[in-house]
Amino acid sequence: MITEQGIVEGVSGLRAVVRVEKSSACASCQARDSCTETSGKNMVIEVANDLGANEGDRIEISIPGGSFLILSLLVYLLPVAALIAGAVAGGAFAGLLNMNATFASILGGGIGIGATFYTLTHIDRSTRAQKEFRPRMTRILVRSDSPHSESDQE
């Protein structure tokens, strides 16, 4: 199970908007230079508010490790594999298409990676609907003092 901490920025019905804080794992991550998280911005996500968290609460969110691994492989490995397969297929069909082998490989690789990104867009939409791929609130670490209740009493 992959867990991170965050602070609830807002609650709307049964959903909570959570600002996920950068963890120490970000410092050792291989993708830290290309990740938008190193730009100083924290990631903001929406999760089901199953625990009744309030604005300002520090919570723990988690996603199953298997789901995280599957999504990581799809995002990182599939485009590279499609690029290579498309380039090989393009080079193989260059003679049939009466094209330069290099140009056909580049074209095949581009088609392969383009098809993969199109496919990943549809996979992204379908995985959002599945509970096992969505982060969820697992526990409330620190409850915030509600400023509304103090101001109402005065």
**Residues contacting residue 77 through CB under 8 Å, at least 6 positions apart:** none
Tell me: the pLDDT tens digits for 36-83?
544 556 788 888 888 888 888 898 888 877 877 888 888 889 999 999
Report the pLDDT value the prediction gives residue 70, as an integer from 0 to 100.
84
Asked if 13 and 2 count as a contact pair (C-beta separation under 8 A), the reply is no
Residues belonging to the chain: 154
pTM score of the predicted model: 0.57
Tell me: the pLDDT tens digits for 114-145?
999 999 988 877 776 677 777 888 888 888 87
